[in-house]
Structure 1
Amino acid sequence: MKEKINKTNVARLLDKAKIAYQLVPYEVDENDLSAIHVAEQLGEDIEQVFKTLVLHGDKSGYFVCVIPGDHEVDLKKAAKVSSNKKCEMIPMKELLPLTGYIRGGCSPVGMKKHFPTYIHCTAPQFDKIYVSAGQRGLQIQISPTDLIKETQATVADLIAVSEEE
């Protein structure tokens, strides 16, 4: 018998939008909230486990970037796609009051209010990707096209290219 997973607000919103998804629990390590740890726990390719970052632009205000878990957001690229001259990650203390989510449990779906959302251009290459279900220890497996539709996201190149690549 499968253990019942309590539905998160994210799951309820996806149900309401009639979007197929799967809730996937994982073991939380309070000392390692990285997407790399999540991918290892899920036994999934890190390129398919996306993290949700909230940024603040000098012109647009807040916006959201959803990127593969082992990459860093390129602030110049993020600023450009969001029509800002510059942008920065929001301070951690602003995350919960702004989005309703805590670090390690921030989902692009169901924030307190809708912010412009940008998803990295590799997402549509996959049948399924993982994003936070809105709490630590729970991911949502979802089709990238459904996630893009639900969050009204723009697909863009958002990640910093490391020197080795």
Structure 2
Amino acid sequence: MTPAINLLKKLKIKFNIHQYKHDPNQTNYGQEAIDKLDPSLNITAAQVFKTLIVSLNGNNKTLAVCVLPVDSHLDLKKAAKVLNCKKIDLAVPNLAQKVTGYLVGGISPLGQKQQLPTLIDLSASEHSTMFISGGRRGLEIEIVPQDLVNILQAKLVEITA
């Protein structure tokens, strides 16, 4: 089990696990999840979310988490405004891995080494369930968006371009 799954079990949150065989040559992890998740689930790309770690004002010690659909782009200005800073940048992969305890492509917003301020794109509220990384490549968690917001004390805001 991953820290993300352990946290959900500890909190007694309802969720489903979906696994697929990760292709080690694949680097577009979100698209791979969309392509490989069970077709009978009728998942749209808008339901599968990626987790991005961002640094605030160029400071690698001040970080936040942005969760948004894999087929969308993070609007850096919108996210910076919500995070009350001048600018944000994507954290370098090594830093993201060190801070979260997860490998890039398997970073879950849940069960990170320390809880960072978290923004979840408003579009999540349009779905009865959403899919997020379960903490490793090839592992997705299906969860009710409001449960994720509550667990992470996240802000549900528009952060996509």
- TM-score w.r.t. the length of structure 1 is 0.89
SS in 1 for 2:135: strand
2-side partners of 1:92 and 1:9: how far apart? 19
- TM-superposed deviation, 1:72: 1.2
Matches within 5 A, 1:70-85: 70-85=71-86
Question: Is 1:29 the equivalent of 2:23?
Answer: yes
Range moving further from structure 2, 33-42 or 147-156: 33-42
- TM-score w.r.t. the length of structure 2 is 0.91
- TM-superposed deviation, 1:106: 0.2
- Match in the other structure for 1:39: 34
1-side partners of 2:151 and 2:71: how far apart? 24
- TM-superposed deviation, 1:33: 3.5
Aligned identity (percent) is 37
**Structure 2: any 5+ residue segments left out of the alignment?**
none
Aligned residues: 154
- TM-superposed deviation, 1:27: 2.0
**Structure 1: any 5+ residue segments left out of the alignment?**
1-6, 161-165
Matches within 5 A, 1:46-61: 46-58=45-57, 61=62
Matches within 5 A, 1:1-150: 7-34=1-28, 35-42=30-37, 43=39, 44-58=43-57, 61-150=62-151
SS in 2 for 1:139: strand
Let me know the Cα RMSD of the aligned residues. Answer: 1.3
- TM-superposed deviation, 1:96: 1.6
- Match in the other structure for 1:156: 157
